[in-house]
């Protein structure tokens, strides 16, 4: 199963994808990668500088929205792109993340578009019969 499937849906101006993973942590990591796939290509972004953060939320969906929003905020304020993520999820929807990337270099990363925000549109984390986690996410471009 491909971990990320980009959805080309009709006339959407946004970036819609579906992520699959065996664990919640891996699901979040795939979603994090998708933010930077929308902007550039992961193979062009070297994982050199780590940035760490912690989050708490009231539900898994809120935690994922918060996680993606934090990565978008770090992209704008640290002027960095990320390609590698270490994620730990514990207790009542608490998350630790170490995102590793490098400063934006237009020649190297050839960014095609910016990501403005994560959205809650149809955001629902599901687990299928084989125990795989699945989520569909829309990023506002």
Which positions lie near another protein, rule CB under 8 A? Answer: 6, 8-13, 15, 39, 58, 61-62, 65-66, 69, 72-73, 76-77, 79, 104, 106, 110-114, 116-121, 123, 138, 140-141
Closer Cβ to another protein, 37 or 132, answer by number: 37
* Separation CA 121–CA 137 (nearest Å): 7
Instruction: Please report, for residues 10, 68, 112, the alpha-carbon distance to residue 26 in angstroms, rounded to integers and kept in the order given.
Output: 29, 14, 26
DSSP assignment, residue 43? G
In the complex, minimum distance from the CB of residue 30 to another protein, in angstroms, rounded to a whole number: 18
Closer Cβ to another protein, 9 or 129, answer by number: 9
Judge contact between 51 and 24, C-beta under 8 A. no
In the complex, minimum distance from the CB of residue 128 to another protein, in angstroms, rounded to a whole number: 22
């Amino acid at each position: 199963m491909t971990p990320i499937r980009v959805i080309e849906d009709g006339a959407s101006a946004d970036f819609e994808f579906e992520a699959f993973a065996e664990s919640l942590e891996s699901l979040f990591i795939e979603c994090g990668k998708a933010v930077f796939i929308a902007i550039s290509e992961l193979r062009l972004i070297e994982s050199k500088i780590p940035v760490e953060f912690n989050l708490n939320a009231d539900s898994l969906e809120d935690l994922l929205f918060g996680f993606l929003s934090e990565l978008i905020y770090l992209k704008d304020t640290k002027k960095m792109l990320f390609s590698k993520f270490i994620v730990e999820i514990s207790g009542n929807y608490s998350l630790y993340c170490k995102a590793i990337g490098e400063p934006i270099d237009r020649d190297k990363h050839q960014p095609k578009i910016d990501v403005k925000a994560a959205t809650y549109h149809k955001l629902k984390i599901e687990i299928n019969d084989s125990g795989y986690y699945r989520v569909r996410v829309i990023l506002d471009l």
